[in-house]
Amino acid sequence: MRTSKHIEQLAGGIRFRPDEKTDERILAAAEAALSKRTFTDTKAEKMRIIIMRNPVIRIAVAAVVVIACLIGLSFWRTTGSGIALADVLARVEKVKAFRFQWNVKITGEDPNKPYSSEERNTTLESQEYGKKSKIESLDPNGGESTFSEKYTFPDKKTMVRITPKQKKYWRVEFDDVTAERLWQMNDPRTYLKKILECKYESLGRATIDGIEVEGFQTTDPYFFLIGGGIQIDAKVWVDVKTRLPVRYDFTWPNFDQMGTKIIERGHIVMHDFQWDVAVDAAEFEPVIPDDYTGTVVKYPAHITEETNIQGLKVLVELLGKYPENIIDIDGKTVLRLAEKSETPAAMRLKEEIKGLTDDEMSNKLVDFWMPIRGLGRFYDMLAQDGKHPQYYGKTVTPKDAGKVLMRWKVSDNEYRVIFGDLHAETVSPEKLAELEKALLK
């Protein structure tokens, strides 16, 4: 037996790795194959991708992702007790302002790697002024909690998030569709509408915090937007006197890749509702201290040829040359490359970030990273739209005004080309072939 283990260990210790040239060859072949594919995402899916790429929105979306796509109610069912959920919704929709708390907890299932993350929110929502949430994120390792505030203004289509620990705030501006979706997220009304759309049943009477309530439950897999087929268990408990919700409970499992093993469980509780509270407009005005740094973000992000050129310009000023690939370029890679660079921009950057902690550095460089981060996304967007992008940063320098640095297809008769000196032109396929042939020389 010992010999078997020894052989296994010996074999397990053998490692081979392709050399860099092979890596490049294989990746180039695979990327070429991928760029020939045409992808037809739905608008909704593209929107979801954009939302999930936003670190700010992602937090909210990851916590509870619910769609509010509810036009018309097909049910006006009553239960044995006489409570109709549609009546509950009608009452809730008449409420001008309300306050509630909601907690989200995700717990890992592996006893050998226990973990849990938890977020506690107190939300004040007004039909007139918007939504304000105070969020406490608990440290899974038992350390200090972090606090933030979030304000959502549907009429202005904006969201403001303030993180006091980082002395930072974000102002995110949305288009109509995204703003509408965000307003409906984590909203008790949305959940009621969604339950009404699903198959649900009465749980009968119970008492919560001394209040007599009636419960309703759905396990319809389409309750959640993402992860259709998820084993959701959603319950709402309604005060039998006021006919207004008292508590919501949602639990669901997350499965591994094979879909056979549960790896974590999520639990959301919405509770402590105070319906029809008096509110003051001043409560919905974000208070941002003068020493906080702010970032304005537009979503869906405006990523264009211009922002792409801007990103390339920032990089070339920093590194003195174009990066070999822009698909994977991120903050860490640029910092690593800039460390070795002697350009004036790199020297300035190194001076600015000297002695800063990671958090401080990330705050300071937020604006700086924006156009650089857009590079990979621009390339991805072109590839996803079947526009066959190609980038030649490995061989083209800023002095090569006549050489193709990047190109993509506009139509069957036109290609857009960004040249080495960062000017852009539209050329015919024949001209592009000529230009790319020159690159080989």
State in angstroms the smallest separation of the CB of 364 from other proteins. 25
State in angstroms the smallest separation of the CB of 439 from other proteins. 20
Stretch that binds other proteins, among 20-28, 61-69, 245-253, 419-427 (CB under 8 A): 20-28
> 166: how many CB neighbours lie within 10 A of its CB?
15
State in angstroms the smallest separation of the CB of 15 from other proteins. 5
State in angstroms the smallest separation of the CB of 20 from other proteins. 6
Question: What is d(CA 318, CA 199) in angstroms, rounded to the nearest whole number?
Answer: 58
Nearest to 54 by CA among 151, 200, 194, 161: 161
**Residue whose CB is less far from other proteins, 26 or 438:** 26
20 binds other proteins (CB under 8 A): yes
199 binds other proteins (CB under 8 A): no
Question: What is d(CA 48, CA 367) in angstroms, rounded to the nearest whole number?
Answer: 24
4 binds other proteins (CB under 8 A): yes
> 211: how many CB neighbours lie within 10 A of its CB?
15
**Residue numbers 379-418 binding other proteins by CB under 8 A:** 379-380, 383-384
State in angstroms the smallest separation of the CB of 392 from other proteins. 15
Selected from 209, 257, 302, 340, the binder of other proteins by CB under 8 A is: 257
Dihedral (CA of 173, 71, 99, 226) sign: negative
Residue indicated by tokens 């020493």: 291
* Binding footprint of other proteins, residue count (CB under 8 A): 47
3 binds other proteins (CB under 8 A): yes
41 binds other proteins (CB under 8 A): yes
Question: What is d(CA 81, CA 381) in angstroms, rounded to the nearest whole number?
Answer: 54
State in angstroms the smallest separation of the CB of 105 from other proteins. 17
26 binds other proteins (CB under 8 A): yes
**Residue whose CB is less far from other proteins, 260 or 357:** 260
Q: Is 104 exposed, middle or buried (0-12, 13-18, 19+ CB in 10 A)?
A: buried
- Pattern of binders to other proteins over 358-377, x per CB under 8 A? ------------------x-
State in angstroms the smallest separation of the CB of 101 from other proteins. 28
228 binds other proteins (CB under 8 A): no
Selected from 228, 259, 289, 355, the binder of other proteins by CB under 8 A is: 259
Across the strands, what pairs with 266? 106, 252
Evaluate whether 391 touches 380 at the Cβ level (below 8 Å). no
**Residue whose CB is less far from other proteins, 343 or 384:** 384
Selected from 71, 74, 141, 258, the binder of other proteins by CB under 8 A is: 258
**Residue whose CB is less far from other proteins, 6 or 298:** 6
Selected from 150, 172, 318, 328, the binder of other proteins by CB under 8 A is: 328
Question: What is d(CA 169, CA 242) in angstroms, rounded to the nearest whole number?
Answer: 39
Evaluate whether 90 touches 62 at the Cβ level (below 8 Å). no
Q: Which amino acid is at 66?
A: V
22 binds other proteins (CB under 8 A): yes
Selected from 138, 319, 327, 439, the binder of other proteins by CB under 8 A is: 327
State in angstroms the smallest separation of the CB of 100 from other proteins. 30
State in angstroms the smallest separation of the CB of 85 from other proteins. 34
The sheet that has 158-163: what strands, in order across it?
200-208, 211-218, 233-239, 245-255, 262-275, 97-108, 116-126, 130-138, 146-153, 158-163, 168-174, 293-299
State in angstroms the smallest separation of the CB of 266 from other proteins. 13
Q: Are β-strands 211-218 and 233-239 bridged in parallel, bridged antiparallel, or unpaired?
A: antiparallel
Nearest to 361 by CA among 328, 326, 333, 335: 335
34 binds other proteins (CB under 8 A): yes
**Residue whose CB is less far from other proteins, 284 or 392:** 392
Question: What is d(CA 63, CA 185) in angstroms, rounded to the nearest whole number?
Answer: 10
**For the stretch 359-390, what's the b/e string if a residue is b when 16 or more beta carbons lie within 10 angstroms of its beta carbon?**
eebebebbeebbbbbbbbbbbebbbbeebebb
Type and span of the H or E element at 201: strand 200-208
**Residue whose CB is less far from other proteins, 106 or 279:** 106
Stretch that binds other proteins, among 97-105, 254-262, 304-312, 433-441 (CB under 8 A): 254-262
44 binds other proteins (CB under 8 A): no
Evaluate whether 308 touches 373 at the Cβ level (below 8 Å). no
Q: Is 274 exposed, middle or buried (0-12, 13-18, 19+ CB in 10 A)?
A: exposed
State in angstroms the smallest separation of the CB of 244 from other proteins. 37
Question: What is d(CA 216, CA 195) in angstroms, rounded to the nearest whole number?
Answer: 9
Chain positions contacting other proteins, by CB under 8 A = 3-4, 6-8, 10-20, 22-23, 25-27, 29-31, 33-39, 41, 45, 49, 254, 256-259, 263, 327-328, 376, 379-380, 383-384
